[in-house]
């Protein structure tokens, strides 16, 4: 029996069915975890994030591969697709002041209606939401598509699709969408002092590239560098997008 997991779920007031729903698994799978079976890494990370505990606290026999050991670096994921969906939701849901998204298309988020609804609700609650997407006509967007071996027109089409899906934010007072023409070396997703930084690697789709989870703890630390980068792109981006249709 995994008593650590059982106690953590009780402390979070979650049942096996709640955990199963959040992770999109069968409740029987959660019961097997409670009986002692060790989940796949992506499920361990998602459970730990959802219960807001360390993976090692739930499965001390497993060496955590995505966790780091200082206050600023919270986690390292080998690929963006290994970041649990619950982590993205928790990131944006935790914001009390500001949410920022800087990417070329961010289509994987835009296609998640739950995430869009969450961003809209956060904006309505007073959280400032800023979304920076690549200008689909910008050379940097075309080049990124070529670098990812999907073609320049495909990348531009992804941006246009994302813009259409982000439209519910365009009519919210605290939300703003801008287009940038910047060459991005990483995509940045922030909620107050928490950041998920998705590095860009030549010839590698962003979904396959690593993600670093940072927390801004010192003015001169790594997280501050990415926050400053976000602000520079924002300042140089196109005007406010109250309506942008393709």
pLDDT value for 67: 47
Cα 105 to Cα 115: distance, rounded to the nearest angstrom: 15
pLDDT value for 231: 93
pLDDT value for 239: 55
Instruction: Report how far Cα 217 is from the mean position of its chain's Cα atoms.
Output: 19
Instruction: Tell me, yes or no, whether 246 lies in a domain.
Output: no
Q: Which of 47, 13, 42 is nearest to 30 (CA)?
A: 47
Contacts of 95 (CB under 8 A, 6+ apart): 122, 127, 191, 192
pLDDT value for 242: 42
Q: How far apart are the first and last CA of the chain?
A: 54
Domain boundary among 63, 94, 109: 63
The number of folded domains in the chain is 2
Q: Are residues 16 and 127 in the same domain?
A: no
pLDDT value for 246: 41
Instruction: Tell me, yes or no, whether 194 lies in a domain.
Output: yes
Q: Phi, psi (5° rounding) for residue 182?
A: -80, 145
Q: Are residues 30 and 126 in the same domain?
A: no
Q: Are residues 25 and 78 in the same domain?
A: no
The CATH number of the domain where 182 resides is what? 3.30.870.10
Domain boundary among 63, 92, 110: 63
Q: Which domain holds residue 182?
A: 74-236
Q: Are residues 170 and 211 in the same domain?
A: yes
Helical spans, DSSP H, in the chain? 3-11, 16-23, 27-34, 41-51, 55-58, 85-94, 107-110, 113-124, 139-147, 152-165, 167-170, 222-236
Q: In a structure prediction context, what are the per-residue pLDDT tens digits for the chain, which is 246 residues long? A: 888 898 899 988 899 999 999 888 999 999 999 998 988 888 888 898 888 888 878 887 775 444 444 578 888 888 888 888 888 988 999 999 999 999 989 899 999 999 999 999 999 999 999 999 999 888 888 888 877 777 778 888 888 999 999 989 988 889 999 999 988 889 999 999 899 999 988 888 888 899 999 988 777 778 888 999 999 999 988 754 443 444
Q: Are residues 59 and 90 in the same domain?
A: no
Q: Are residues 187 and 85 in the same domain?
A: yes
Q: Are residues 130 and 227 in the same domain?
A: yes
Distances (CA, A) of 201 to 93, 147, 193: 29, 9, 25
């Amino acid at each position: 029996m995994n008593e650590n997991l059982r106690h953590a779920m009780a402390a979070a007031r979650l049942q096996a069915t709640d955990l199963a729903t959040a992770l999109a698994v069968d409740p029987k799978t959660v019961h097997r975890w409670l009986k002692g079976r060790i989940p796949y890494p992506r499920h361990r990370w998602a459970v730990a994030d959802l219960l807001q505990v360390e993976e090692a606290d739930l499965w001390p026999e497993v060496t955590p591969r995505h966790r780091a050991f200082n206050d600023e670096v919270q986690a390292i994921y080998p690929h963006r697709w290994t970041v649990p969906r619950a982590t993205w939701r928790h990131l944006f849901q935790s914001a009390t002041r500001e949410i920022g998204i800087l990417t070329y298309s961010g289509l994987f988020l835009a296609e998640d209606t739950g995430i869009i609804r969450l961003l809209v609700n956060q904006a309505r609650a007073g959280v400032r939401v800023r979304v920076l997407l690549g200008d689909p006509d910008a050379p940097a967007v075309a080049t990124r598509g070529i670098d990812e071996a999907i073609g320049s027109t495909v990348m531009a089409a992804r941006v246009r699709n994302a813009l259409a899906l982000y439209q519910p934010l365009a009519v919210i007072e605290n939300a703003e969408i801008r287009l940038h023409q910047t060459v991005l070396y990483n995509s940045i997703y922030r909620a107050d002092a928490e950041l998920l930084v998705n590095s860009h690697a030549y010839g590698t789709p962003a979904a396959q590239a690593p993600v670093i989870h940072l927390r801004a703890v010192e003015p001169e630390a790594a997280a501050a560098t990415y926050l400053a980068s976000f602000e520079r792109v924002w300042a140089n981006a196109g005007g406010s997008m109250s309506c942008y249709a393709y």
